[in-house]
Amino acid sequence: MHLLFLFFGFLCANTFAAISFDKGSLTVDGAPAPFLFGAEVQYFRARGGSGRNVAPETVDALWDKLLDRVQEAHMNTLTLYVPWDFHEPEEGVFDFEGTLDRDKDGKPDYPSRNLKKFLEKIGDRGIRYVMIRPGPYINAEWGPHGFGAIPNWFFDKYPAAIAKTLTPNKPRTVSFSHPAFRTHVKGWFKALHENILKDTIGPGKPVVFLQLDNESNYFWDSIYERDWSEQGISRYRGFVKEHVGGPRAIAQRYGAPVDDINNLLPPKSAQDKTFPSSHWHYDWYHHHDLELRHYYQFLRDSWTKLNLNEPAVLFTSCDSFNAMPYGLLPRLDYRQEGKLSITTMNVYPKTIGSAEMSVLNFPMKAAHEARLVDGDRNDGRLVPAH
C-alpha cells in the first residue's frame, strides 16, 4: 500500500513512441531504463506538524530529508498518492501551491499542499521515473472515513452516492458508478491536469505512470456487503436483465420463479438459498467484476478526454483482494480488455489478527495472487506488484 515495487519481467513486447516495453525492458524517451526500484513518499503526510500554519520552510526541509533517504536507498522510481480531499477541501476550491488560507490568519493552512514544489524537488534531483496516483479512491489509511480521500463535503452533499452495506456503522465509501460521483471526479481530474499534470507528463518530464484509482475493493468487504444502495441494486437488476433475461429466463437459471425483476435482490451471504442455483451468487459476483471494469474505463476515458494519452504516460491499475468469504478474487482479464491498463497486484499475506484468526491467516495468498496475475495475462500488460 505504501511501497510499490514494479517488476517488469512478465511484460511481453509493447512498443510506444515515448515509453516502450520490449522483451521485459523499459525504454523512456528512447533511452533504456534500468530495473525499477520504487519508493512511496507521501508529501501530504509530511506536513512538518500536526496542525495548520506550519512554516513553508519547515515543510521544505522535511521533504528534502525524505528525498535524501530515497536517494540514499538507491531508489530510482518514486510513487506518490495525490489525495483529492486534501487538495479540494471545499467544493470547487483547489490548492496545489500550498497558499490556501481558510482560517484567514494571513498564513497558508498547509504548505504541504504545494505539489508543484514537491515535483520540482523530484525533478531537481534527477529522479526520472514517477508514478502519480490521484485516485479518486486511495486506500492509504487516509481520508475522512477510514480510507478513500473522497472529500467530506461530497459525502455531506450527495448521501445517495454512498455505497450501503448490510452491516450498520461500516465506514462510508462511494458507489463508483453514481453519476454525482463521476461528475465530481471529472472535475478533480481536470483541476489536477491543468495545475500539475500537463507540465509534468511528456518527453523529458518525470511522470511516466498514472494509476487508475487504487485498490477499488470497498474496504475489502465481503462481496455480499457491496453495494446495497438504491442505485447499486438498480444497476444489479439491469445487469441481470441484460445478461440473463426476463422472469422466465431468471427462473430457469436460478431454479425458482421471479414474479418481477424489480423485486429481485442479490444474495445476502454465501449461505443464502433464496434461489437454489449457484448461478444467482455467480451473477452477483460477475456484476461487480464488470462494475469495476466499467469504472476503470470511465477513469481512463476521463483522462484521455483531457488529452492525456499513452504513450506520453502509461496507465496502471492496482488491485488488492481477499479470498472468500472476506472478499472476491478479481477477474483480471476484465481489466485488460482493450489494453485498459498495466494491472498490478498488491499482495497481503497477513491481515489483522483476532482470537479466531492468526495474523498469518493467508500463508499461501501471495503465491496464489502471483499465479493469478501470471495465468490471467493475455497481452503482456499484467504485472504483479510485490
Give residue-wise pLDDT tens across range 163-190. Answer: 888 888 777 788 999 999 999 999 999 9
In the three-class reduction of DSSP (H, G, I as helix; E, B as strand; rest coil), residue 349 is classed as coil
According to DSSP, the β-strands at 25-28 and 19-22 are: antiparallel
Listing DSSP states for 166-178 in one string gives SSTTPPP-B-TT-
pLDDT score of 385 more than 60: no
Backbone phi, then psi, for 139, in 5-degree steps? -95, 70
Backbone CA torsion sign across 144, 145, 151, 157? negative
d(CA 101, CA 6): 38
Q: Which amino acid is at 241?
A: K
Share of the chain above pLDDT 70, in %: 82
In the three-class reduction of DSSP (H, G, I as helix; E, B as strand; rest coil), residue 267 is classed as coil
pLDDT score recorded for residue 359: 66
In the three-class reduction of DSSP (H, G, I as helix; E, B as strand; rest coil), residue 230 is classed as helix
**Average model confidence (pLDDT) for the chain?**
85
Q: What is the DSSP letter of 201?
A: B
pLDDT score of 369 more than 70: no
In the three-class reduction of DSSP (H, G, I as helix; E, B as strand; rest coil), residue 314 is classed as strand
pLDDT score recorded for residue 364: 67
In the three-class reduction of DSSP (H, G, I as helix; E, B as strand; rest coil), residue 248 is classed as helix
Q: Where does the pLDDT of residue 328 fall: very low under 50, low under 70, confident under 90, or very high at 90 and above? A: low
In the three-class reduction of DSSP (H, G, I as helix; E, B as strand; rest coil), residue 94 is classed as coil
Listing DSSP states for 123-184 in one string gives HHTT--EEEEE--SSB-SS-STTSSB---HHHHHH-GGGBPP-SSTTPPP-B-TT-HHHHHH
What is the tens place of the pLDDT at every residue in 246-292?
Answer: 999 999 999 999 989 999 999 999 899 999 999 999 999 999 989 98
What is the tens place of the pLDDT at every residue in 222-253?
Answer: 888 888 999 999 999 999 999 999 999 999 99
Q: Where does the pLDDT of residue 23 fall: very low under 50, low under 70, confident under 90, or very high at 90 and above? A: low
What grid cell was written down for 172? 462510508
Q: What is the DSSP letter of 315?
A: E
Q: Which amino acid is at 95?
A: D
